[in-house]
Amino acid sequence: MGQTVKGDASKPNRRVFSVPYEYRGKSLDPFQQEALIGLMQSMSTLVSAPTGTGKTLIADFLVEKTLEKGKRVIYTGPIKALIAQKYREFASLFGTDRVGIVTGDVTVQPGACVVVMTTEILRNMLLRGNAAFDDVDWVVFDEIHYIGHAERGAVWEQALLLLPQHVRVLGLSATIPNASELAAWLEKARGEPIHLVTSHERAVPLEHYYFNRECKAVSRDAWVAAYLQSYHWEEDEIDPKGGHWEEEDWRQSFRELGGRHRIRDDSSHLDVIEYVAQERLFPCLYFDFSRRGAAAKAEALAKRSRVLPEKERESVRVTLKRTLAEMGVDKEEIPGLDRIERLWYRGIGLHHAGLLPAVRRVTELLLERRTLRVVYATETFAVGVNMPVRSVCFDSMEKFDGRSYRRLTANEYFQMAGRAGRRGLDRRGVVIVLLPFSKPLKEPPPRWEEAGLQKVQSSFSLTYNTVINLIRQFDEDRIRALFSTTFRAHQAEDEETAVARLLDEFFQRRGVLERLGYIQGGVVTEKGRALSELFIHELLFAELLWTADLETWALPELAGLAAAFVDEGDEPLSPALSKAWPAPKWTTEVEMVAERLRRLGAFDDQLDVRPSSWRAAVVARWCSGWGLGELQRELGAEPGDVVTLCRQSIDLLSQMARAAAQKERVSARLREAAATIDRGVVRVQFG
């Protein structure tokens, strides 16, 4: 069943089609139907709706209908875990012969009808040229609000600007206050109408509570009132605005009254889980922003929990055996698996990036099948896994961002809290923040209202790779026009000034490239073509390819070089890991190259980044044949981090090998190093 919709009456060949009321057995909300109307009219569409409301169903519909027409579609997302999940889903729905995946370190059927990839890969392909998109009808940008990400947002913006005109766009975003501004920019940049669909309603409404053992789970205002009483404050001492505590009023009262606290409060996650059990709020996702904290909590709960009934224990055994077989992993390759299994057999899961992908996958499957009652997770679960639960709990309102502890933003909170509430199963989703009275608060706890969400702001920037590839593809007039259509220019108070600044940055970087021999007489040289293939610390590695005798380096040295410069992952290195390892012997050569670049005027934060000796040691030793257990004992490397570092290193070595294509022996040596890393649990297999 569906409603009949007529196409645009102004067009001579208007179509009549039926928008379904349900899809794959799920009733469609009005915003989903509205989105489908735009897609069925081949209109680029931007959907902004709360987390957990069913945006991915819209993308699934689009993929299915595009395949029915015999056309191709690309699906992009921000992280590899999400991309791997979509690959498995699409392969199950449409067949492995019709689905491919490209992530930089893994390429499977890149010419398939449906290809999933990270947004970085899409941008990189577009920078090299768009011939590969001649037969692509649609590109899906999942989590398109990442365009505002401080470090990675430029990738989304560049990809949207460089997409060929014939390709239509579906953007899926969590709720953002300036969705109309983003849609207006897309219309201007792409020269086509954008069908904007916004929704602020959840199919399963959220209820927000604060918790401690003294008053259990209560509203924010009830918690504040009880907190004041616990400090023997009177409400009229701190409540000058009739129930709305302003931060400065709170701070002033805190300074004047001090902490005359008389109630002992040692509330813990165990009290929260006990309350969740009493209220029948399982399955529960419990966020702790520290891996160590999440693991300790899982172990503590296990000591109080009974073993699951035999039928559910059998589900654990079968799921584990099947998943390991699909991913090509033996139980003996997973350090500490016995401990993880004991948690599963008690209905408890643990999920963070330090665990092997196979372990995380089993946890996700057991949670999906409701075998697990509680999963303790770090923040990576919120983006990498699309899986609703009945309740979401937070161990704290604060997180460490690599520099200091700060409160969660409203966007971060709702990205995680939005997992609460299973459509069709729950009438409400419950969100609980643990906040003991014994912790002095210098400012009132947040109200967590979606009205407080942050606007998406452009973070467009230029790298040397971007500059060299723009010069390869476009003349100066086209580049100026491109800068004038950026989201950064669109949002600027003075658009001309914003474009002028971009051009200044472009010409400064171009000048550096000319001095270094990447461009001569306005033409990209062979050295410049090598640079165009590098997307991580591109100047540094291009110079190394050109000046260092890499073909004579040992394979572990090459592996360690790549590992030393890749991303950190989801948690910053501890001081013990970041400082306690001797510098590799290639350090002096790398420093000399960096110093030469600086002398010739190169300006870039990447030249100031110190290589990580610890990461280099981990991957070099893996390349030399060490096992996960040895790396964990001797270097403190968690198994999941080893896999991540190795996969990132393979990606960078592959980029270097492509860049060194004209130096056959160097290119072959780099590919050999990548192949040596790609063994055992590091090798990716998709089930």
Beta-carbon contacts of 588 under 8 Å, excluding residues fewer than 6 positions away, are none
Can you tell me the distance from the alpha carbon of 441 to that of 231, in angstroms, rounded to the nearest whole number? 11
Buried b (16+ CB within 10 A) or exposed e, 494-526: eeeebbeebeeebeebbebbeebebbeeeebbe
- CA 498 from centre of chain: 29
Residue 233: the pLDDT is: 56
pLDDT digits (tens, 9 = 90+) for 614-636: 999 999 999 999 999 999 999 99
Residue 242 has pLDDT above 50, yes or no: no
Confidence of residue 249 (pLDDT cuts 50, 70, 90): low
pLDDT-derived band at 509, boundaries 50, 70, 90: very high
Average pLDDT value for residue range 245-266? 60
* Residue 9 confidence class, pLDDT cut points 50, 70, 90: very low
Is pLDDT at 37 greater than 60 in this prediction?
Answer: yes
Which stretch of DSSP H or E encloses residue 73?
strand 72-77
At residue 505, does pLDDT exceed 90?
yes
- Tokens 């996958």 belong to residue: 361
Preceding omega of 283 cis (within 30 degrees of 0): yes
pLDDT of residue 568: 61
Predicted confidence (pLDDT) per residue in 250-260, tens digit: 666 555 555 55
Round to whole Å and give the CA distance between 159 and 126. 7
**Two tokens, residue 183:** 């849609």
Average confidence (pLDDT) over 61-65? 96
pTM, two decimals, is 0.92
Reported confidence tier of residue 575, pLDDT bands at 50, 70, 90: low
Residue of 92, 90, 130, 129 lying closest to 113 (CA atoms): 90
What pLDDT does residue 69 have? 94
pLDDT of 405 reads 85
pLDDT number for residue 241: 47
CA dihedral over 569, 574, 576, 582, signed as positive or negative: positive
Quote the CA–CA distance of 146 and 155 in Å, as a whole number.
9
pLDDT digits (tens, 9 = 90+) for 329-351: 999 999 999 999 999 999 999 99
The strand pairing partners of 208, in sequence order, are 431
Average pLDDT over residues 180-199: 97
DSSP label of 327: H
Report angle CA 676, 677, 680 to the nearest 5 degrees: 100
pLDDT value for 577? 72
Highest mean pLDDT: which range of 236-245, 398-407, 412-421? 412-421
Question: Between these two residues, 533 and 603, which has the higher pLDDT value?
Answer: 533
Residue-wise pLDDT tens digits, 284-326: 999 999 999 999 999 999 999 999 999 999 999 999 999 999 9
Tally of CA atoms within 13 A in the half-sphere of 479 that contains its CB: 21
Find out whether 254 and 362 touch, Cβ atoms under 8 Å.
no
pLDDT digits (tens, 9 = 90+) for 436-494: 887 777 778 999 988 789 999 999 999 999 999 999 999 999 999 999 999 999 999 99
Query: What integer best gives the mean pLDDT of the chain?
Result: 90
Is the pLDDT confidence value at 581 over 90? Answer: no
Assign 13 a pLDDT band (cuts: 50, 70, 90).
very low
pLDDT band at 383 (very low <50, low <70, confident <90, very high): confident
The residue whose two tokens read 């004991």 is 342
Better-predicted residue by pLDDT, 235 or 228: 228
Q: What is the mean pLDDT of residues 17-43?
A: 90
Taking alpha carbons only, the member of 389, 404, 401 closest to residue 349 is 389
- Distance of alpha carbon 74 from alpha carbon 164, whole angstroms: 13
Percent of the chain having pLDDT more than 70?
Answer: 90
Average pLDDT of the segment spanning 532-536:
94
DSSP 129-178: -SGGGTTEEEEEEETGGGGG-TTTHHHHHHHHHHS-TT-EEEEEES--TT
User: Looking at the predicted structure, is the pLDDT value of residue 35 above 50?
Assistant: yes
Question: How far is it, in rounded angstroms, from Cα 60 to Cα 221?
Answer: 41
- Minimal CA–CA distance to 241: which of 227, 258, 224? 224
- Residue pLDDT, tens place only, 405-452: 889 999 999 999 999 999 889 999 999 999 988 777 777 899 998 878
Say if residue 17's pLDDT is above 90: no
Secondary structure of 586-652 in the HEC alphabet? Answer: CHHHHHHHHHHHHHCCCCCHHHHCCCCHHHHHHHHHHHCCCCHHHHHHHHCCCHHHHHHHHHHHHHH
pLDDT tens track for 87-139: 999 999 999 999 999 998 889 999 999 999 999 999 999 998 767 788 999 99
Give the model's pLDDT for residue 130.
64
Q: Residue 642: is its pLDDT beyond 60?
A: yes
572 neighbors 404 (Cβ within 8 angstroms): no
Q: How confident is the model at residue 1 (pLDDT cuts 50, 70, 90)?
A: very low
Rounded to an integer, what distance in angstroms lies between the CA atom of residue 322 and that of residue 303? 28
For residue 555, pLDDT beyond 60 = yes
Which residue spans within 184-294 are E strands per DSSP? 195-198, 206-212, 216-218, 284-287
